[in-house]
Structure 1
Amino acid sequence: MLSLCYSLLVLSTLPLAFVLWTLYCLGRNHAKARSIGLPITVRFVTPGGPIWMIFSPLIVRIATYLPFTASFIKKYRRGWECRERYRTHEEHGELFTICTPGGNYVKIGNFEVADDILRRKDEFGRDLEAFAVLNIYGKNLATTEGKEWMRHRKVAAVTFTEKNAELVWGEALKEASQMLVYWVERAKNPIRTLAQDTQIFSLNVLAAALFDRSYPFEGREESKLRERTAGSDAKDGAFGYRDSIATILHMIVPIMVFGERKLRDSWWLPKTWQKAGYAVANFRDYVTALIDEERVSIAQGKASSANLVTNLVRACEDESSGSLNTEKSAGGRAILTKDEIISDLFVFAFAGNDTTALTLAYILAELAAHPKIQDWISEEIRHYTATDDVTKWDYTTCMKLKRCWAVMYETLRLSHPLNQIVKNTGAETRSISHKGSIYLVPAHTTVEINLPSLSTMPSHWGPDSLEWNPKRFVTPGEGASDRFEQETIPPDTTSTLFPWAYGRLVCPGKRFSQAELVGALAALFRDHRVEPVPQTGESMQEACRRVKTMSEDIEQRLLSEMREPEQIALRWFRVHI
């Protein structure tokens, strides 16, 4: 009895101990924040903590049903930066510090300061802890720094080629055409699976780009039916890859917290979590087999393909011994191990799938709310495509569709899947200069360049900075006979527009995502349109406003995405011009 009472007493003190420890850490970090000299705002929860990442959506959802929680939701919903945009910096200043129990976060909402930080790569390094979730298969391009990062980066730079982008363009056209047929002919109407369908689209394009495997588009319900028909023991390399990577991306936080083996072996975890453990192993086995196949092809002198596995393996093959290692070969080329290749391929899949799928979902929702912009891009698409047969559309067409590029720019400006560029001061105090003042930021402080603020500041983007208007990026030609040819758009990476970052940090797969998104738009909007399905008693104009609002109602899970995409009901139809 005494032992039971003692145990209960110990358990009852744990919450109190946790609260006291949290307050102690918060007080310590607040003292560090004061030393910087920037305005301070306090959060009682560390936003990057794994437990908060898992449970915050549920906690915030419950809070929405309670009174007097508006301020809590505004501050603690993950991805609040995307919802508040420039307004938080308008309230606290272009630079301010968020103090939490787990550390301090200096928020940057000024272009000059952001540019200065990005250029000082040796002082403001990457916050590797923030990317640790991507270490499922070991270190990779996203989770390394210094010389190790340069080794991965050099290989990545020669992995993403124009031939690979051309492959992506063709596959995106094909998959988008099949997705359109699904929406028009087979899907339940109204369509409420926008986010799910764009993810399947992107997974299929990735399968082609990474492995040269081409798969038909199928809706979520069709996928489930196929799996039931095939049986649990049936293995199809095509859908095996797609289903494994989809499971990993969906369950990446539990994978980070528990690890592959514990997820597989712990009977007490939910079955969906156990499935994630097996998916990690299946993806490794699948990629390993493809790497081995490619090495045999190299040994036999076979011609290379344009897919990423081929490019990455050939970039890493040691010319002197024909083996993969971590040293530099006699030719001075940077080499990766097989495990590092698998890890980099996973990061390419992660970066190339969810970011593109989410962006396409944003684009389609915005276009549904703006029918005149649909007509505007369709006019251009029809000008450059003489036939509706997408297999006849050359890759050079991709660069000509400037209005489609403008739609992509504008959507990423307002609704970027990655809402922060995360840096860290490292082991030393770093200085930041702003408007004539010098601020000393302590060691091991996270510095976040706030993209939603920078991309919506009225001082730079004008009074309509919160409006979705792709035409802002297109400059018409003057006195030209071919107005489409004479229209111009700005570069895709500048110091004030960097959806794919810029400088040494520019995304190596930039052209990959651009070809995929522009290809999708070209195939979808040449001869078709999409519109919201009004709710009872709602006009079409009101439905468009509602869809726009919902498309920009963003919450951060692992990335920033629409909070309730299933609430957007759409209808696709063909137009005759």
Structure 2
Amino acid sequence: MVLNQAFLIFCAFPVVFIAWSAYSLAENYVKAKSTGLPITLRFVSPGSPLWMMLSPLIMRICSYLPFTSTFIATYRRGWEGRQRCRPHVEMGDMFMIVTPGGNWLKVCNDRLVSEILKRRDDFYRDLAAFEVLNIYGKNLASTGGAEWNRHRKVAAVTFTEKNNELVWRESLKQAGEMLQYWLHRSPQPIRTLAEDTRVFTLNVLAAALFDKTYPFESRAESKLRQKNGKKDSAFGYRDSLSTILRMIIPILIFGEKKLKEAWWLPESFRKAGFAVSDFRTYVTDLINEERVLISQGKQNTPNLVTNLVRACEEESDGSLSTGDSRPGRTILTKDEIISDLFVFAFAGNDTTAITLAHILGEMAAHPEIQDWISEEIHFVLQSTDIKTWNYSTCSQLKRCWAVVYETLRLCHPLGQLVKTTGNLPRTLNFDSRIITIPPHTTVEINLPALQTHPRYWGADSLTWNPKRFISGDSINHEILPPDTTEVFLPWSTGKNVCPGKRFSQVELVAALVTLFRDYRLEPVMEPRETIEDAKLRTRRLAEDVEMRLLHEIREPEKIGLRWSKKST
């Protein structure tokens, strides 16, 4: 009898779920219809944690089935990054996506974007979209209002020019070691582009966050080291953070405690639970060490932990809070410091690693751009001694900056600037009429569309061309435009601008300088391919994105690359 009841409940669950989804979809459709905007339906909510975790597997299965191409194109996470401006060219500057979990307003119009960003009290950050980052509690990304101001005030004095100089030096070093790995230790052709750029950014972050320097090693080399029982000092930070970033969706769904204790979950899931605690322990020890130095009146190297802890200590007159006690007006608790440091690591690692992977894929497909930036690098940095490459020269490398700009224009890891209408309806003046946006609507500024729309970027808007950002008649008189405009928002803008913007810019430019001053990158041809075929295929792979937690190259392992020394 009990088994029969359990079986009936099990069978009834999907029926109830489908009925609820259909009802919610119909209800949300009525709300969206009232706006008078174009509507497209989705039968799955893109923000569902379960869908976030299962969709890659579902899409992989569907790719082997007939008649699924439309489903894949519509429901693959990150479709905005793949389609870029095309949906808005077809449907207009604004359209509604209706799902069982809510309505999404997509926006691609410079005037509307400017208005939405200015009306912060009407269209404010959708904090629910950042809950995935609350592994260690509230932080700069997941708070709003006065609480956000408290985090932001401390973050503003954490990222300094001295720290950026450290980033420059460490990026030069790590890029050099990564290049040597690709030249001498990596299997050929190189098919670990995405993995290796993540190791690069993790190592740069180790220096910037914690003043810890590690040699570059591939993921395969790291696994071999761990298999042989050699857990060096990198384990607490680099290996644990790498695991967390790779498994962040299961961590969100199950939580640290359940992951560590649930015997029925895969081994990789349990390792993720222990990685969460390992990272917490590592950062806590560093915070405690810094507090001891402060009490002794000693000065440490200006890394981000040092800057963050000292900022909190100074604001609180040496009474940094611990645990969950209520913080003062401007300081952070120890738990909040750990959470903010995790967000800095997440934002500074994955976004930069993904961007660098896109850059290298595009550069391999465009040897003429390699020559273009190499000319500038030799003009600005004439010495072959890397120790003489001063941080002050970073801003002179305008062509390298243009490569970064153009890559973020076409392939942005974030994808959307997410706002919400909150509990009230909001109005927008659009196309000579007033549009009333219903309450609880997610408003997304569609960066892949805004930054590729031909209205703003011309007929070649979908072509990767860094030269579009450079003007001037000679190499020493070239002009680089601002890194933010109404239609170019790679680091956001205003109060919500990325606090690590300069950090990431310096890191990427330093990598380009090291990699392309004296070396060339080329795609490896597949059987029966010409070199032009290989370039075209590499470009397409580099621009084909899928959203996991961020928009990233969907199949980076299919990109085969080879480095060689430039002939003089």
1: CA distance, partners of 2:326 / 2:258: 33
Q: Does 1:316 align with 2:315?
A: no
Contact 1:174 1:391 in 2 (8 A): no
Q: SS in structure 1 opposite 2:105?
A: strand
Q: Does 1:391 align with 2:390?
A: no
Q: Which residue of 1 aligns with 2:349?
A: 353
1: CA distance, partners of 2:69 / 2:164: 45
Q: What runs of 5+ residues in structure 2 fail to find an aligned partner?
A: none
Write the letter of the residue equivalent to 2:515: L
Query: Deviation of residue 391 (structure 1)?
Result: 2.1
Contact 2:327 2:333 in 1 (8 A): no
Write the letter of the residue equivalent to 2:142: T
Contact 2:414 2:550 in 1 (8 A): yes
Q: Which residue of 2 aligns with 1:515?
A: 506
1:540 is matched with which residue: 518, 531, 535?
A: 531
The alpha-carbon distance between structure 1 residues 321 and 402, as it changes in their structure 2 partners (threshold 3 A), is closer
Q: Does 1:114 align with 2:113?
A: yes
Q: Does 1:73 align with 2:72?
A: yes
| Farther-moved stretch of structure 1 (490-499 vs 208-217) | 490-499
Contact 1:531 1:572 in 2 (8 A): yes
Query: Deviation of residue 485 (structure 1)?
Result: 2.3
Q: Does 1:20 align with 2:19?
A: yes
Contact 2:49 2:253 in 1 (8 A): yes
Instruction: Map residues 302-381 of structure 1 onto 2, 5 A cutoff.
Output: 302-318=298-314, 321-325=317-321, 334-381=330-377
Instruction: Map residues 219-238 of structure 1 onto 2, 5 A cutoff.
Output: 219-231=218-230, 234=231, 236-238=232-234
The alpha-carbon distance between structure 1 residues 72 and 319, as it changes in their structure 2 partners (threshold 3 A), is closer
2: CA distance, partners of 1:515 / 1:321: 33
Query: Deviation of residue 320 (structure 1)?
Result: 5.9
Q: Which residue of 2 aligns with 1:10?
A: 9
Query: Deviation of residue 395 (structure 1)?
Result: 0.1
Instruction: Map residues 439-518 of structure 1 onto 2, 5 A cutoff.
Output: 439-477=435-473, 483-518=474-509
Q: Does 1:216 align with 2:212?
A: no
Q: Which residue of 1 aligns with 2:401?
A: 405
Q: Does 1:531 align with 2:522?
A: yes
Q: SS in structure 2 opposite 1:317?
A: helix
Query: Deviation of residue 318 (structure 1)?
Result: 4.2
Contact 2:55 2:77 in 1 (8 A): yes
Q: Which residue of 2 aligns with 1:271?
A: 267
Contact 1:327 1:335 in 2 (8 A): no
Q: Which residue of 2 aligns with 1:480?
A: none
Write the letter of the residue equivalent to 2:412: H
Q: Render the CA deviation track for 1:462-497: whole Å, top value 9, x for unaligned.
A: 0000000000000023xxxxx322101101122221
Q: Which residue of 1 aligns with 2:96?
A: 97
1: CA distance, partners of 2:316 / 2:462: 56
Query: Deviation of residue 449 (structure 1)?
Result: 0.5
The alpha-carbon distance between structure 1 residues 267 and 476, as it changes in their structure 2 partners (threshold 3 A), is same
Query: Deviation of residue 161 (structure 1)?
Result: 0.6
Q: SS in structure 1 opposite 2:157?
A: helix
Q: Which residue of 1 aligns with 2:563?
A: 572
2: CA distance, partners of 1:137 / 1:220: 26
Query: Deviation of residue 352 (structure 1)?
Result: 0.1
Q: TM-score, normalised by structure 1?
A: 0.96
Write the letter of the residue equivalent to 1:343: S
Contact 1:63 1:69 in 2 (8 A): yes
Query: Deviation of residue 383 (structure 1)?
Result: 1.0
2: CA distance, partners of 1:276 / 1:560: 22
Q: Does 1:154 align with 2:143?
A: no
1: CA distance, partners of 2:520 / 2:456: 33
Q: Which residue of 1 aligns with 2:171?
A: 172
Write the letter of the residue equivalent to 1:570: L
Q: TM-score, normalised by structure 2?
A: 0.97
2:413 is matched with which residue: 414, 417, 431?
A: 417
Q: Which residue of 2 aligns with 1:556?
A: 547
2: CA distance, partners of 1:56 / 1:169: 38
Contact 2:315 2:331 in 1 (8 A): no
Contact 1:327 1:334 in 2 (8 A): no
Query: Deviation of residue 228 (structure 1)?
Result: 2.3
2: CA distance, partners of 1:576 / 1:385: 18
Query: Deviation of residue 238 (structure 1)?
Result: 2.6
1: CA distance, partners of 2:326 / 2:236: 33
Q: SS in structure 2 opposite 1:460?
A: helix
Write the letter of the residue equivalent to 1:172: S
1: CA distance, partners of 2:54 / 2:256: 20
Q: Which residue of 2 aligns with 1:283?
A: 279
Q: How much is the aligned-residue C-alpha RMSD, in angstroms?
A: 1.3
Q: SS in structure 2 opposite 1:41?
A: strand
Q: Which residue of 1 aligns with 2:291?
A: 295
Contact 1:378 1:527 in 2 (8 A): yes
Contact 2:417 2:445 in 1 (8 A): yes
Q: SS in structure 2 opposite 1:143?
A: coil
Q: Which residue of 1 aligns with 2:39?
A: 40
1: CA distance, partners of 2:543 / 2:317: 53
Contact 2:315 2:330 in 1 (8 A): no
Q: SS in structure 1 opposite 2:95?
A: strand
Q: Does 1:64 align with 2:60?
A: no
Write the letter of the residue equivalent to 1:270: P
Q: Which residue of 1 aligns with 2:144?
A: 145
How many residue pairs align between the two structures? 565
2: CA distance, partners of 1:314 / 1:185: 42
Q: Which residue of 2 aligns with 1:198?
A: 197
Q: SS in structure 1 opposite 2:228?
A: helix
Query: Deviation of residue 6 (structure 1)?
Result: 3.4
Displacement over 6 Å in runs of 4+: 326-329
2: CA distance, partners of 1:88 / 1:154: 39
| Farther-moved stretch of structure 1 (436-445 vs 187-196) | 436-445
Q: What runs of 5+ residues in structure 1 fail to find an aligned partner?
A: 478-482
Q: SS in structure 1 opposite 2:73?
A: helix
1:249 is matched with which residue: 233, 245, 249?
A: 245
Write the letter of the residue equivalent to 1:102: G
1: CA distance, partners of 2:146 / 2:418: 20
Query: Deviation of residue 328 (structure 1)?
Result: 8.1
1: CA distance, partners of 2:314 / 2:457: 49
Contact 1:25 1:101 in 2 (8 A): yes
Query: Deviation of residue 303 (structure 1)?
Result: 2.1
Query: Deviation of residue 62 (structure 1)?
Result: 1.5
Query: Deviation of residue 214 (structure 1)?
Result: 0.7
1: CA distance, partners of 2:419 / 2:307: 30
1: CA distance, partners of 2:497 / 2:209: 20
2: CA distance, partners of 1:150 / 1:434: 32
2: CA distance, partners of 1:242 / 1:295: 23
